[in-house]
Amino acid sequence: MKIKVIGAGLAGSEAAFQLAQRGFEVELYEQKPIKKHPAFKTENYAELICSNSLRSDDLSNAVGLLKQEMRILHSLIMEAADLYRIPAGKSLAVDRHGFSDYITEKINSHPNIKVIYEEVHELDDSIPTIMAAGPLCEGDLADSLVGLCGNEFLHFYDAVSPIVEKDSIDFNYAYYKSRYDEENEGDYINCPLSKEEFETFYNAVINARKIAVHDIDDEKYFEGCMPFEEMARRGYKTLLFGPMKPVGLEHDGIRPYAVVQLRKDNAIDTLYNVVGFQTHLTFGSQEEVLKTIPALRNVHIVRYGVMHRNTYLNSPRIINNKYQFIHHPNLFIAGQISGVEGYVESAASGLYAALNMAQYLSGGIKYELGPDTMMGAMANYISDESICKLQPMNANFGIFRYDYNGPKSEKKKAYSEHALKVVSEYERYV
């Protein structure tokens, strides 16, 4: 049976691979390189636009649990991430180019996947399809989606951080250290500021020029990806309790007033991501602001932060907890356009949508994951009809449902242990 997957991002690549592994013929439609959004820099699949971090790998963290669930289910994205891991303490960060190169090669060489470099203009609900066009979906395809499900689109604005050359960092001012030394020392480069230096930086930020955004009167942000200049405008101390928090980053027995952290962005240790500094300042302003930081006074920015509009569905009105359209059962959706938020969450939605579609096409969905797993909890959250207006959300234990009566200190560990048992059992049938 032939299946259509639209989009070769994290969700689409994962979905196409999972279906192909189960013997389905997959036509994977990808509009790069014919048409490429400015946010993308390469022609590879599963390109990481923002950070190169897949966040915590700790099982006491919801996204750490989600990644382990995906590993149990033989996720291509997690296979690539584990192969191209680079040091980042308790977080899973990857060499973004090696990561996407590997996924691209696995997709292109799979005998059951045919990649079609073509822009899709219309959804056909007579053909089994997984829509994973991404949060940058626009034009005819977006209009076709609206035509199928009504005018149910919401949107928010997302921003990405600058990447700088390591050789341009002044180590007379910078030092290696992980917060509290709980993680491997040397995973982060820290750029400290005194109170006076922070005030200079802060004044530069609040007076910096922003890139004009269309529909500015309706400008909204996902709280987990707030531009740092918007945080600064909320108050003088906002950044000090956010990405510039100095707690646990003492050096030579002295705690700085503020710290900017840099995280390794590639395996050869030449590029670093400015942690938490997603932005939509003009390129000139980004350089001016960063150069007020002593360790970055000669900084060379190799990729500036950019601003883009992310689109997502008001999913509770449209899909069920299998990522399947309620009124168009041949259609499934995955990725950030479905209402999940984050790299790992997007890939997980593609994985789960594919497993559900495989069951559906083989006679009906008999096995599913409930809210006592992180993957199932995400699917339940975005399809919860009690939510009037969906707000995209990262994986978190607040949406997890499992009766636990033991000590509070052991709750997250118990959640993870239970979820992994459930997913391991589920894996036997799918």
Give how far Cα 185 sits from Cα of 16, 53, 166, 181, 191, Å: 39, 18, 17, 6, 15
Q: Which string of DSSP letters, residue by residue, matches 44-79?
A: -SS---S-SEEEE--TTSHHHHHHHHHHHTT-HHHH
Residue 67: CB atoms within 10 Å: 27
Q: Are 260 and 245 in contact (CB under 8 A)?
A: no
pLDDT at 224: 65
The partner residues of 261 in beta bridges, in order of sequence, read 190
**For 291-373, where are the alpha helices, taking DSSP H only?**
343-361
Q: Are strands 153-159 and 307-313 parallel, antiparallel or unpaired?
A: antiparallel
CB-based contact 315:339 (threshold 8 Å): yes
User: What is the model's pLDDT at position 135?
Assistant: 78
**Cβ contact 315:295 at 8 Å:** no
Residue stretches of the chain with pLDDT short of 50? 215-217
Q: How far apart are CA 426 and CA 350, in angstroms?
A: 17
DSSP per-residue letters across 107-145: HHT-TTEEEEE-------TTS-EEE---TT--HHHHHHH
What domains, with CATH codes, occur in the chain?
A: 2-156+311-427 (3.50.50.60), 163-305 (2.40.30)
- Are residues 148 and 280 in contact, defined by beta-carbon separation less than 8 angstroms? no
The per-residue pLDDT for 193 is: 98
pLDDT at 217: 38
- Structure pTM? 0.82
